[in-house]
Structure 1
Amino acid sequence: MVVKHCVYKDCESDSRYWDRDYMKGVCFIRFPNPVTHRERCEKWVKACDRPL
């Protein structure tokens, strides 16, 4: 199983801990592919306050 984790700022949500209270209602959305959607991916990175 692929482990999914949040990359937004200091969020620590992780699919390995699905049974914890803070994970209730959490869903993960994939980042746009930087090869095919470079501009969109860069917007997402900036919105998540992460370095390029």
Structure 2
Amino acid sequence: MTVRPPVRGRTALCAAGDSARPSAEQILGGRLRRGEIDEEEYRRRLTALRRAET
């Protein structure tokens, strides 16, 4: 079993293994921080997420 340190932006409860899940925006932000997507892709996807919420 691998133990990972808490990720910035998550609550202590979520990082401790609570059933709460990060939001789509938090996941997207994590992908940007890790370099999986660039800023242009981040903004495009964030806009799409926010449009879908309305």
Q: Does the alignment reach a TM-score above 0.5? A: no
TM-score, length basis structure 1: 0.33
Structure number with higher helix proportion: 2
Using CA pairs under 8 Å that are at least 6 residues apart, name the structure with larger relative contact order, 1 or 2.
Answer: 1
